[in-house]
Structure 1
Amino acid sequence: MPLSRHLELLESLEFPEVKPRLRPLLHVVCLIWATCESYRSPGRLTILLQEICNLLIQQASNYLCPEGLLRSEVEESQRKLHVAVDTLSFFKQGFQDRREHLCAYFKENQEVRQWDFQSSLVFERLDGFLGRLLMVQDLLKTALDFHQLGKLEFSGIRGNALSQQVQQMYDGFQEMYGVFSESSYDCLDPQSMEFENDVCEFNRRVEDLDRRLGAIFSQAFDDAPDLEHAFKLLDIAGKLLERPLVAQDASEKYLLLIQMFIKDLDTVRAIYSQRVQEEAELGFSSVHKNMPTVAGGLRWAQELRQRIQGPFANFKRITHPCMDSAEGKRMTQKYEDTLSLLEKYETRLYEDWCQTVSEKSQYNLSRPLLKRDSETKQIAVNFNPQLLSVLKEMSYLEPRQMQRIPETAAAMFSSREFYRQLVAKLELMANGYNKVVKTLAEVEFPLVEEELRDIDLRLRAAEGTLNWKTEGIWDYVIQITNSIHGLEQRIQKAKDNVEEIQNIMKTWVSPIFKRKDGKKECLLSMDDQHDRMEKYYHLIRESGLKIHALVQENLGLFAADPTSNIWKTYVNYIDEMLLDGFFLAIECSLKYLLENTECKAGLTPIFEAQLSLAIPELVFSPPLEYGVKGGFYDAVEGLVTSIFGISSLVPRLSPQNGSPHYQVDVEGMAPLASMRSTLLDRVQSMMALCCGYRSAFSQYSYLYVEDRREILSQFLFLKRRLTPTKGSMKKCVGWSPSRCSTAG
């Protein structure tokens, strides 16, 4: 039978799939009523519909699983309840719809019999089940609302205390709701009064929580410093504020929000009035950093608009009746008036700018590309700041405003990339030219004078006839920029070479001869004297080759004639530099020797001479007598000669000076000659002092000059030692101990 097939299909489906099958099922029931006389009886049809309701109740109960409904996730349980309530309500609605259109199932000549029985006879059990579902649904909705308490945190002075109170409420609610999850009864059984009693007790305690929650939200509203924090509080509270008791306590706070916004609107109008007054008195007003005047003013107005649009958008989301109150309407009117003021300000500011931008653009674009300072001869890009201002203003303007820009300014803005690149190229050219003019040395200028004169001649067009609207100026700028850049690069390379020469000479400024291991308590290292000198000489020779190569490179960079006077002058300039370098190098070594030969306390000697007995004389090693070959004086003089000798290792850059190297000029320098003389005088003085010290030992010369055996024999014979005079007398008369002994 058709009905049995529908019922069997209904039993086999999952409950969420049942809803689409209910209308066909009711359609078959209506057909049975219209065509089957045996079933065209209210009693039988009522029983049939009751059985269908029982089937739906059973399927819904199985789908919801009563024992786990209150233990599962609240959102999942709510979703299932919504499906069940929607399906059962749809069945009731479908029944009512078929009941109203029952005549469509009877033939034209057939008597129409309506369903004249009461609906309550059919849906008594279904309505009870639906009521229980709605009760559970309300319970879950409350649970879902209060689960937000676990995430609530308040700011402000009392924020911590309020957050703790909310946490305590949340813990209490969890305990209250735990009664249902721990119970063993069937919460979907309409006959279970135990569940209803628990729900009544639960709702009573929830009402108390709602009142406490309303008080907490009221305190949090009072602590909110501004509208932004107040609306954040509304967002945080969410659906909790929709609970009747909470909404009742929070209702008056909405009026406070309106008053706060009205106060903000008054503040915005005061800011607007102050700015308008500043512009009237001073002719300008402050704008954002790095923003042009007009765009900055428009941005200022836009930010003021955003300041009030954001809160007003939040008000529009509020469904509270306060928006329809007199205060709410006053707020809306004041908001619209403030917006109108800002829009008028923007329009006036923009239109005033449009009236002047065309004239400024035309005038400044007709100016020459470059301008020159008559005193310094330096050049600068003549792109007027007003043009930069126009381009900057237009780059900040919104697309809707760009449609009303004058044609001249619009054309300039469309070519902004060209002007940007052109200005950048001209800036590069001007910087390169000015660098050449400022840094060119006096001896370098004659070497590039002709090239500079040619560049100046080509620049005259950019300083006079060429302007920003001239056709083909890009190629002109590229050509002259390349010329200036090439010259600047060559001059810079030549200067770098000169700087490298100076750096090379700085490596010379180090004492050739030092104390051993560089320690202050050690003597001058004489053992490796030859090796140190050769190493230093090698450094000077290599440096000389490098310096000559750099000078030759500069000759090519300046494209100079090596026989010309201007090049010879430049070479003399480098030559003097080398002479100074040798002076500093030699001075460093001489200073080291002078500083370590000063007579001052605590200074360890740098040289050593040993006094030893070489019978019958006391001798120094090395010899300290002046004029003795290989003596100490010769050794020190040899050191000084080696120091001065470094200036002979580099061939002279300037051959016209008449010397193949620099030693003659260096030796003629008075400061170095004075240092050399001072050092050698100290050596002679110390040599004389040491020789005097040796003479002090002459009174003891008999100890190492006379024969010890002869003196002993005299002592044994005469029982006393002869004085030097008596001893001499004995010698004169030919006395000897042996002879005396024989006579005796």
Structure 2
Amino acid sequence: DILSTAQECSIYESIELGGIDAVELQNILQKVIRDFKSAYALFRGLTDDITNEYNAEFPNAYKTFRKIVFTGDERVATILRRFLQPCYSHAKTANIDNIYRASRIIPNYSSTAWLLSMPKLISHYRWVNQLRQRVNSQIEPLRTIDIKIEDNECYKRILEQERNIQMRLDNFIENLNQQWIDLFQNGSLLHLNEPILRKVNEYYTVNIKPELATALHEVMRLYQIPNLILSPEIEEFYQQIDRFQQQFIDLDYITKSYRHIYDNVSLIEYPLIREELATIANDLDKASTIITLNIDTDPTDFIRRLRTTIHDFEARFFKSKSNLDDIQKILQTYLKTALYSRGETRQDPLLIVYEKENKVLKRNNELRDAGLRLQDILKQSKWLLKADADADIWKAYVDYVDEMIIESLYEIIDYNLNYLLEESDSTLNKRPLFEVELILDDLDLRFNPTLEFGSANGLYDIVDTLIGNIFRQAAMIPRLAEHSGQKHYQNDLEGMKALNDRRLKIMERLRDTMKEANDWKEDVNEYAYLWLDDRKEHMRQFLLYGRALEENEIENRELIIETPPSLVQFQNQIDLFQSIYSDIDSWNQTFLFNSWLRVDARPIKRQLLNLVNKWINLYKNYLIDHVTVSLNELELFIKHASDMLQRQVRSDDLKSLIEMMTFLSQVRTRQEYTDDMAEPIKDIIELLKSYAYEVPQTIYAMLDELPEKWIIIKKMAAKMKQYIAPLQANQIVNIRNQIIDMEKKQQEIRERFLRDAPFTYDTKEPYVGKIIENNLFF
């Protein structure tokens, strides 16, 4: 039992938590691990024989071990509850099964067991979905089968059974939904009328009933189930879940803060905080007696006000308890620590500016805290000295402390500026300090960050902001000498000539270096045609005229003679871009200016090489497509021709005869082109092979087979032509006879109409008479 327990508890060492409360929860988990190791280590120190019935060391150690293990399990359960409680969805809890499998806490844990751990309605609904999937997996193959079995009695019986099952499952879920809704309305909603806090001895705890916590969890899980109809009360309850969640968090914070204050207050401090503590206690008493979570009476404002009050009181109270050091020791922390420094993770670390906002925010918060601590020390000193704030002797003491702070801040800013000057001095430093990228962005070649003067978020603006943040450190500490009329120390330090001279020198070096980098960018801009020219239009002009047209030729292109390009011209264009590719590929990865500004050329180099490849592939792909399309078209035509020429044409089938004559005309039309297409295609393939293009074996096979098949098609066409020649002659005779018969019939109808025409100028009854008697024209 001891060894198996030790093996299971060892899993806790591999658990890592994240989120807002991660630090606190991780500390609790580490304490559980330490307690377990201490209990387990007791067995190593046993010196007597554990089989001796009179030896009580082992039973006592075992009892202690079991007690610590059970306590640790409860703490781990609490950690998991707090960690998963803020989840508004099933996103985190959905993977618990996989977590248990990976950690082997529950071996052979099946999906059925997972359903048993869910709320009843959700588990039943998921079970019904699984059952429906199983039924559908058996029915769908029958519905998609090619054989017509719709009239089969067995098939109809199976479908009827499937419909009955689906109907029963629907009724089952509907009844279960109604039972859960009735139970929820009669049970869970009633707990909202109980006080939000519960008093235990001198402390307070959040009054959350297990049934209410379960209801909150189930309602959130229910809304993940599609097509589920819930009552209006539950809908209204669901709309309040976010509020409940925030209120529980606030209440948890309030109760813990109050316990923290109550446990740490001393007899000396208690009279000082008695009035505020009593006010807070009164509010907590209200929360434990009359304030509820009822939806109609929203206690959010009360909870927020109470949290704000206790938060402010707790912060002030524990600051007053802090035993702070003197002023010089507080500021010494920043004397030899640059606000911006090189990284330590790379061989050529740059100045860390990508984290400048976080670093400045962190440093400013640290200095603000230091300023508050300085004020607290001063107030504490006044209290210790029982000084009068209006006395001149106290003001002189404050002025002396003020001068100490100015000297310390001068050393801090001076150290930071000297650091930048030394690192940007090409005679002292050969490592880059800043880095920018040259990129192609939306057809615009630019640096990232930009090196344009006066541009927001450019390198010049970044460096100016860095220096401004260095000086702005002095503004984070409030002025201790309030009678001086100054709020902080920044104005005093900005007026010092030595610091301003260093600032101007840094910016002058930056301007010179930016100019050199911009000159190099103009050289790269010579390749602008690679991304500005339209490749489709370029290829269209190349295919029409064998070259790209000049701007003045585009307006008069109708006057230019179309001369399709030869294969040699394709080769020249590919070779031209191949040479451009080699030139760009030979560039260095980075370029260094004045030894401290590095330009990362990898992005623009990669982009230009990709563009050149697109230009090369533009010509290659055209040749490849030409070969592939030509051979595939010929292969399809040969296959179609083979089918057509094997048809039997009867003498009385005029339609088949016309189709065959049309197809023979198509064979004769493409005969000249097809007879001469093999050699040009072979030349194109040889050219592509010279550029390391691997021609598919199917192309070679088609080049070997198609010419022979084409010869066979031509022979078959010649035989067919001879075969249908007599049929053509017979059809010509038939057509002539039909024309003669048609002319005779037209003549008869004309004579009959002239003789028996029903409509004349003196006809009174045109629809009676000869028309009816002779059935004329009907």
TM-score, normalised on structure 2?
0.28
Higher helix proportion: 1
Name which one, 1 or 2, has greater alpha-carbon Rg.
Answer: 1
TM-score, normalised on structure 1?
0.30
